Amino acid sequence: MKDWENSKVVFNFRVAGVALSRNRLLVHRNERESNWSLPGGRIQPLEFSEAALVREMREELGAAVRVERTLWVMENLFGYAEGKEVHEVCFYYLMALADDDPLHDNDADFDGDEDGERLIFHWLPLSQLANAPFNPEMLKPLLQDIPEHPQVITANDLG
């Protein structure tokens, strides 16, 4: 197939960041959703993935982040709302907020914005990750043991 636009499958080229602070993981979700995920967003045409992560964190949270290193590149097939099937390629980076960023001190949920839609951010204790509603599920054990070198992951939740 040459044209994704005429397909029932959605192709998503994404970037996400892993930020850790005080044994907590930064997660977010759209206010309409119940599952947490790693913050990030879509990579724009002619934009490198690291730059996209920095841009997304600035746009959604007003935070300046430093991208430290690549953790995973994941190709994932999964189902989504309204019966859509998604083929996603995502770059996952270890990222850091400045040591003096006040976001480190948030103990409750805090708001972000994605094109006028409310995002809810949260510092999830790593000890609670295994039982938390989180996507993609298969990242849960990997987030407990951050790799020293980049890894390539494929996942197929379509069957």
Domains in the chain, ordered, with CATH? Answer: 4-98+105-156 (3.90.79.10)
* pLDDT for the residue numbered 4: 63
Average pLDDT, the chain: 92
CA 28 to chain CA centroid, nearest Å: 8
In terms of Cβ atoms closer than 10 Å to its own Cβ (0-12, 13-18, 19+), residue 95 is buried
Tell whether the model's pLDDT for residue 91 goes beyond 70: yes
Is 12:89 a contact under the CB 8 Å cutoff? Answer: yes
Q: Please report the pLDDT score of residue 61 as a whole number.
A: 93
Question: 83 in helix, strand or coil?
Answer: helix
pLDDT at 114: 85
Residues 65-82: pLDDT tens digits?
Answer: 999 999 999 999 998 777
Confidence (pLDDT) at 117: 85
pTM of the model: 0.92
- Predicted confidence (pLDDT) per residue in 100-156, tens digit: 998 899 888 888 888 888 999 999 999 999 999 999 999 999 999 999 999 999 999
